[in-house]
Amino acid sequence: MLMETLRALCPLFGPSGFEDAVRDYIKEQVKGFADRMEVTPNGTLLVLKKGKAAPKHRVMLAAHMDEVALIVQSVDDDGFLKFKCVGGIDRRVLPGKPVFVGEKQVPGVVGMKPIHLTTDEECEKVPDPDDMYVDIGAAKREEAEKLVQEGDYISFDPAFLELENGFVCSKAIDDRIGCAVMLELIQEELPVDTWFAFTVQEEIGSRGAFGAAFTLEPEIAMVLEGTSAADVLGRKNEAQVCGALKGPVLSLMDKGSVYDRGLFRLLLSLAEEQGIGWQVKTRPAGTTDAEAFQQTRRGCCVCGISAPVRYIHSPSCVGNVKDFEAMKVLVRAFLEKMEDYDG
């Protein structure tokens, strides 16, 4: 079930600031299950699902709908599209990747200087996006501008691939996996009343999370995310961050948040009780929406569960369904404890 939900969510077009298709899909899926639903002015979807009891403290789960992408900056005289990155994209993997431009989903490919014109010095460096372009096959500016325009978003190939041993490959697994877990929980009977925030513009600074936090004033917030798995090419210890097939990733801190110690310990104990493998994020890299939730009004106790994702922020993220399913089990076990939880 979780695999099919992820298969439906990942291909959707949802760059930061243009999450409409993702939000519309989720809204349609939660009809008949949600007790309340609203959209904030900047596009975050807030859903209340009532459970068997009221929690002692207002609880919110959050996952972001947006994905990293590109945006058309200009069109040159030869019909090539110059672009900027939206979010923290691993630019090493951009050249040669198929892309789709704008709402019309005009197909194209990321190009750069031909290899025979590239100097030895340039070959030793990671290419800069300013030296790349998107080729849609147009012969000149006027031809390209009939199909695309400045400000159009450029998304990656929406193909969803099933690899061996339960691994899947797609764009936007970060953070459609968090959205998938929340969507499925809304469709189930819950132990406590729970707010779900499907946030926007996380990849460019948690813009939607601030609005969600000020609207709902949660006292306990759990962020569901994807995080970088570097269990390839012999990466070890703190440089690895986490690894696939080792279970959900629990965070103590990152560059934007120090996570609540009590909630962290609760998640550890619940993972042990459920027989779920777990791992602690060994390197405090990156930020999540937790940063915004902690800073709202009176503040909020935050915790996070992440899915290990290889090649994150690239057109070809890879993760394992076993890790994803374990993530959902742990989130549900967490909600079971919220009726009487008091820190």
Instruction: Please give the Cα distance from 340 to 343 (Å, whole number).
Output: 9
Instruction: Please give the Cα distance from 15 to 170 (Å, whole number).
Output: 15
What is the 3-state composition of the chain as percent helix, strand, coil, each rounded to the nearest 5? 30, 25, 45
| Residue 202 annotated to the active site | yes
Question: Which helix H or strand E contains 265, and what residues bound it?
Answer: helix 261-274
Contact 86, 16 (CB under 8 A): yes
**Cβ of 9: how many Cβ atoms within 10 Å?**
26
Query: What sign does the dihedral 51-52-54-59 (CA atoms) show?
Result: negative
Six token digits for residue 15:
């760059």
**Cβ of 157: how many Cβ atoms within 10 Å?**
16
- Choosing from 184, 202, 203, 291, the catalytic residue is 202
Instruction: Please give the Cα distance from 17 to 1 (Å, whole number).
Output: 29
Q: Which residues pair with 249 in a beta bridge?
A: 279, 306
Instruction: Please give the Cα distance from 60 to 335 (Å, whole number).
Output: 10
Cα dist from 170 to 48, 127, 303, whole Å:
29, 23, 26
Largest CA distance in the chain: 67
Six token digits for residue 230:
């570097």
Exposed, middle or buried by CB within 10 Å (0-12, 13-18, 19+), for 119? exposed
In DSSP notation, 68-79 reads -EEEEEEE-TTS
Question: Would you please indicate which residues are annotated as catalytic (active-site) residues?
Answer: 202
